[in-house]
Chain A
Amino acid sequence: MTALIRVKTWWTILRICLEERLVYRGDFALGTLMRFLPIVTQIFLWFAIFEAVKDARNADDISSISLSGYRYTEFVAYYLLTMLSRAFSSMPGLASGIARQIRDGEVKKYLIQPVDMLGFMLLGRIAHKVAYYSVAMGPFALVFFLCRNMFSGLPAEAATHSLTTLLAFLTSLVLGFVLGYFLEATIGLIGFWWLEVTSILFIYMLFSFFLSGHMFPLDMLPQPWSTLVDLLPLKYLAYFPSAVFLGKVSGAELVWGLTVEVLWIVFFVALSRWLYYRGIKRYSGFGG
């Protein structure tokens, strides 16, 4: 019985979040459209670079050129895939939202009502993503369809050929969502100790932008940078799923990669729980 009630409560929360999302439709339509713009410039930039390299090497065609193991089409495919990964792992406004709620004292409501803040907000996020992508799926499908040529000529390990890779890719997307959520929630919870989290968030955004693989494939980096990036959890937010899809990570490396990702998730779940617990204690100690 209690389980059923719990599920019902969650469903209600989910539905409210979904409805709230849909009220702000202007925002919504704009956001969906805009998501596709940044990779456009990125693709143009790489095309210009490939052209310059072609010119310098006196090559006939850019298709014969590969930079750091990526052909031009693979670059495009990579950027499209990182978009998809980021669609799962990015959490706009989560950390700043938590910090704001702490600052404004809105966090009190989680002390009064029988809901868990992290759980409630996770549901909110899921609702956000579901609402967002139930509409954005169309444009996404269209772009991938138009760019289907970019996915031809991939190696046999790539998800276009292997079901196992496809499953691993989907798993890494979902794990990316969970990791992204708890990572940002952790940052937001620092707000219990630090009034303005914006600066920390800015640093996180900075690192995440460059070191998640959003900007360029991380395996292009020379040593020691590539090892450093490999040790951080950020690569799971964009680079890892895309690399899995393209068949750049396979076999034991893939299993190891996913295992480490799960470990990172466990770490951030624990850390965020602990911060929340300590933060609430500190907060009620203050007397609000």
Chain B
Amino acid sequence: MSPTSHPANPERPQYLRVFLTFARNSLVRDMTFRVNFLIESVAALSWMIANLGFYLLIFTFTDSIGERTGWGQYEFFVFLATTMLVNSVVQAFFMPNAQEFSELIRTGGLDFALLKPIDTQFLISLQRVNWSSLINFVAGAILLAFSVYQLVTRADNPLHLTPAAIILYPLFVACGIAILYSLMVSLAATSIWLGRNQSLYDFWFYITNFSRYPMEIYNGTFGLPLRWFFTFIVPVLIVVNVPARVLAQPLRPDTSLGIAMGLFGIGATMFCLAASRFVFRRSLLSYRSASS
């Protein structure tokens, strides 16, 4: 054995540098299909505009979503903007990889990922970046700024932004992103067991669909169990609700509930990350590598 023939620094891989190379390579790739990139950006943006249009239509019929929930038009637009921020990050960094994953299993390309001296989950879940989705991050930020401005400057009961809200908002947005990342990794991992997984994307859409609405709408005999399920079992309701509430409705009567939700949100994030890692590792044990 010749110990001199390989690099002298066998410590941790440089994850940040590798990630930046992923991002750079993806950008190089995107730029070779420039027209495509442009269309994708415009499409992603129009999707959000259409969504906004739908809610503008709804707010022509009502002043608030739900009875005395505090989700008036601009409070709700803060909610919507938060959804856009979270989803754009998920779509830019995780979605292309999750879609690629079942393809890697089908073709046996996962073999190569397993050979690399770097964490396999890191490699698999972050190697592609879909830059065009980030346009919605910008759009979300603009909508957020506009809605917060409307709330702060309105004559009737203006919103008072506390420093705590400003600090906590990005923290909980990050938690939400981490929860969705975990869910996506777990879902993608199931394609090792289930084989071809066309409905992965559908499943993802259906589950995250629940996170797009204020949790107050899940009420009554059927609603409460749903709310419970999507808070404690598959905690997607926390993803947008917690940060949006922190920013748009800091002074709700049930503030203590808000604090509990916040703490729970952080705990749930930790748990989800750990669980997804566990599921991913388990799924690799079942990987049988498509033969050539």
Task: Name the contact of B198 in the complex, choosing from A38, A54, A93, A196 (C-beta under 8 A).
Answer: A93
Could you mark each residue 94-129 of chain A with 1 if its beta carbon is under 8 Å from any beta carbon of chain B, else 0?
000000000000000000000000000000000000
Asked if A26 CB lies within 8 Å of chain B CBs, one says yes
- Contacts of B33-48 to chain A: CB distance below 8 A: 33, 36, 39-40, 43-44, 46-47
Could you mark each residue 200-234 of chain A with 1 if its beta carbon is under 8 Å from any beta carbon of chain B, else 0?
10110010011000011000111000000000000
Asked if A1 CB lies within 8 Å of chain B CBs, one says no
Number of CB contacts from chain A to chain B under 8 A: 115
Q: Are B67 and A220 in contact, CB atoms less than 8 angstroms apart?
A: no
B interface, how many residues as a size bin?
35 or more
Asked if B119 CB lies within 8 Å of chain A CBs, one says no
Q: Are B217 and A45 in contact, CB atoms less than 8 angstroms apart?
A: yes
- With A and B bound together, what is the CA distance between A224 and B212 in angstroms? 28
- With A and B bound together, what is the CA distance between A173 and B115 in angstroms? 51
Asked if A44 CB lies within 8 Å of chain B CBs, one says yes
Asked if B131 CB lies within 8 Å of chain A CBs, one says no
Chain B residues lying within 8 Å of A52, measured Cβ to Cβ, are: 62-67, 69
Q: Are B67 and A51 in contact, CB atoms less than 8 angstroms apart?
A: yes
Q: Are A24 and B226 in contact, CB atoms less than 8 angstroms apart?
A: no
A196 CB, min distance to chain B CBs, angstroms: 5
Task: Name the contact of A210 in the complex, choosing from B44, B50, B58, B202 (C-beta under 8 A).
Answer: B50
- With A and B bound together, what is the CA distance between A30 and B206 in angstroms? 11
Chain A residues lying within 8 Å of B54, measured Cβ to Cβ, are: 210, 215-216
Q: Are A206 and B47 in contact, CB atoms less than 8 angstroms apart?
A: yes
Asked if A140 CB lies within 8 Å of chain B CBs, one says no
Task: Name the contact of B61 in the complex, choosing from A27, A53, A54, A196 (C-beta under 8 A).
Answer: A53
A220 and B57 in contact, given A24-B196, A56-B63 (Cβ under 8 angstroms): yes
Asked if B193 CB lies within 8 Å of chain A CBs, one says yes
- Contacts of A37-65 to chain B: CB distance below 8 A: 37-38, 40-41, 44-45, 47-49, 51-56
Asked if A67 CB lies within 8 Å of chain B CBs, one says yes
A interface, how many residues as a size bin?
35 or more
- Contacts of B184-217 to chain A: CB distance below 8 A: 193-199, 202-203, 205-207, 209-210, 212-213, 216-217
- With A and B bound together, what is the CA distance between A93 and B196 in angstroms? 13
Chain A residues lying within 8 Å of B58, measured Cβ to Cβ, are: 49
Task: Name the contact of A41 in the complex, choosing from B209, B216, B219 (C-beta under 8 A).
Answer: B209
Q: Are B39 and A200 in contact, CB atoms less than 8 angstroms apart?
A: yes
Asked if B68 CB lies within 8 Å of chain A CBs, one says yes
Q: Are B198 and A27 in contact, CB atoms less than 8 angstroms apart?
A: yes
- With A and B bound together, what is the CA distance between A84 and B268 in angstroms? 36
- With A and B bound together, what is the CA distance between A276 and B164 in angstroms? 60
Q: Are A196 and B202 in contact, CB atoms less than 8 angstroms apart?
A: no
Chain B residues lying within 8 Å of A51, measured Cβ to Cβ, are: 66-67
Q: Are B199 and A30 in contact, CB atoms less than 8 angstroms apart?
A: yes
Asked if A2 CB lies within 8 Å of chain B CBs, one says no
Q: Are B46 and A206 in contact, CB atoms less than 8 angstroms apart?
A: yes
Query: Closest chain B residue to A32 by CB distance?
Result: B199
Query: Closest chain A residue to B54 by CB distance?
Result: A215
B172 CB, min distance to chain A CBs, angstroms: 21
A44 and B62 in contact, given A34-B202, A216-B57 (Cβ under 8 angstroms): no
A199 and B36 in contact, given A37-B209, A53-B61, A206-B46 (Cβ under 8 angstroms): yes
- With A and B bound together, what is the CA distance between A200 and B42 in angstroms? 11
Asked if A68 CB lies within 8 Å of chain B CBs, one says yes
- With A and B bound together, what is the CA distance between A30 and B194 in angstroms? 10
Chain A residues lying within 8 Å of B170, measured Cβ to Cβ, are: none
Q: Are B199 and A44 in contact, CB atoms less than 8 angstroms apart?
A: no
- With A and B bound together, what is the CA distance between A68 and B43 in angstroms? 29
Query: Closest chain B residue to A92 by CB distance?
Result: B198
Q: Are B194 and A27 in contact, CB atoms less than 8 angstroms apart?
A: yes
16 contacts between A and B (CB under 8 A): A24-B194, A26-B193, A30-B194, A41-B210, A44-B213, A48-B216, A49-B65, A52-B66, A53-B61, A55-B67, A55-B68, A68-B61, A196-B33, A199-B43, A203-B39, A210-B53
Q: Chain A residues in contact with chain B, CB under 8 A?
A: 24, 26-27, 30-31, 34, 37-38, 40-41, 44-45, 47-49, 51-56, 67-68, 92-93, 195-196, 198-200, 202-203, 206, 209-210, 215-216, 220-222
Given contacts A26-B195, A27-B194, A67-B61, list 4 more A-B pairs with CB under 8 A: A30-B203, A54-B67, A55-B68, A202-B43
Q: Chain B residues in contact with chain A, CB under 8 A?
A: 33, 36, 39-40, 43-44, 46-47, 50, 53-54, 57-58, 60-69, 193-199, 202-203, 205-207, 209-210, 212-213, 216-220, 223, 226
